[in-house]
Amino acid sequence: MRAGGAAYAAPNAPPVVPASCVNVPDARPEVESLQAYSAPLEGRRGMLRLDFNENTVGPSPQVVEALRAIPAEQIAVYPEYDGLREAFIANLLAQHPGQHSAGAPPAHPLQPEQIGLFNGVDAAIHAIFHAYGDRGDTLLTTSPTFGYYSPCARMQGMAIEAIPYRLPDFAFPLEEIRAALLEPVGTTSAQGPPRLLLICNPNNPTGTRLAPQPILELAAAAPHTLVVVDELYEAFSGDSVLPLADFAATPNLVVLRSLAKTAGLAGLRMGFAIGAAPVIDRIGRVTGPYDINSFAVTAAHAALADQAFTDAYVAEVKRARRWLLEQLQAAGVRHHAAGGNYLLLWPDLPPEQVEDRLRQAGILVRSMAGKPLIEGSLRVSIGTCAQMERFWQAYRSVTTG
């Protein structure tokens, strides 16, 4: 049953018995103690969606056109992935020309076997934990960060060491991460270094940015730890390790990219893992052969071919962000903004109340209740200038009116 949906019972069918009342076979102990990872994703259409950091204008018209042109035959055959890795590499090269001097080949050219294709970056994260995280291993990460890393660690039976960002400005706790990585103590000492280090850069939800060099140094210093850099929001104002990464020298480094937030394909699911070929191969071993459907493949080709659309959207988000920051500063609203297409603000009223009132005005934002260090804040995704003007007007009216 989908979250929020209704259970379907056929006429005259025996009553549905809740699973908790019958003897069902036990799942693995780690799964028995796990709560399904669920986000409030229902009933969002038609609203101004500033709650999931999605693209707020939709994909390139070329994506829509390509999807409309899909022949019926494509629906009946299993998806084909030929050429998608190459298209992704070409798109990366166009985005990071600084990686090589004009006309010269890149310092560390990527090969197709260094690109893993996934049903969204969520699926890549899940596969990484499935392939590398064993019972008793440690996940080292930061706190607060993207909410899907912890359940993935728990379902593998891993221990989690989450180092808090540094107040007051949520700076990256580099020294603490380095110490936990290189001189593990307590639970990790028996097993050696952490199995996985997850760095969300820029971090969701604090926006914290970390320069590429320290990440590369961490990876080089900890060859037995898989260092995963989640660069989902890098395009909006971030710092990618890709232009500098040499996966031959640091084969324990993996970078994650998605077409969800920039290119507007969140509903179709398309994510990429970039790394050393043997690592990408191992992560790919725990996925199904056709996990990405052919509509996503068609859309990805079209989106990658229209980088100008994505660039224009990213530029608009940056303009809107500057404008909103000016308003927040002028109005004296406590806020925090760094990288990514989102910011945190702390309303004077209870955040849930503001969230509810904004929802009544047709605007969705995300309360950060329960998240360490940022309790009492709302995370607001940045859309276009017009959308942020609408948000700001509504926010002023629900918090002062």
Ligand X SMILES: Cc1ncc(COP(=O)(O)O)c(C=O)c1O
Interface residues toward ligand X, by CB under 6 A: 52-53, 120-122, 146, 200, 204, 230, 232, 258, 260, 266, 271
State in angstroms the smallest separation of the CB of 371 from ligand X. Answer: 13
State in angstroms the smallest separation of the CB of 18 from ligand X. Answer: 31
Query: Is the peptide bond prior to 202 cis by the omega test (within 30 degrees of 0)?
Result: yes
Q: Which residue, 261 or 357, is less far from ligand X as judged by CB?
A: 261
Q: Which residue, 242 or 394, is less far from ligand X as judged by CB?
A: 242
Q: Which residue, 266 or 292, is less far from ligand X as judged by CB?
A: 266
Q: Which residue, 256 or 398, is less far from ligand X as judged by CB?
A: 256
**DSSP symbols for 236-258:** HH---STTT--TTT-TTEEEEEE
Residue 234 to residue 243: CA distance in whole angstroms: 12
State in angstroms the smallest separation of the CB of 203 from ligand X. Answer: 8
With CB atoms as reference, the residue minimizing the distance to ligand X is: 120
Q: Are 257 and 121 in contact (CB under 8 A)?
A: yes
Q: Which residue, 53 or 367, is less far from ligand X as judged by CB?
A: 53
Q: Using alpha carbons only, what angle is made at residue 341 by residues 307 and 370, rounded to the nearest 5 degrees?
A: 145
Tokens of 190: 């028996």
Q: Which residue, 232 or 255, is less far from ligand X as judged by CB?
A: 232
State in angstroms the smallest separation of the CB of 7 from ligand X. Answer: 27
State in angstroms the smallest separation of the CB of 264 from ligand X. Answer: 11
Tokens of 325: 């920051």
State in angstroms the smallest separation of the CB of 273 from ligand X. Answer: 11
Amino acid at 367: S
The number of residues making up the chain comes to 401
CA-nearest of 25, 1, 12, 56 to 391 is: 56
Residue 366 to residue 146: CA distance in whole angstroms: 13
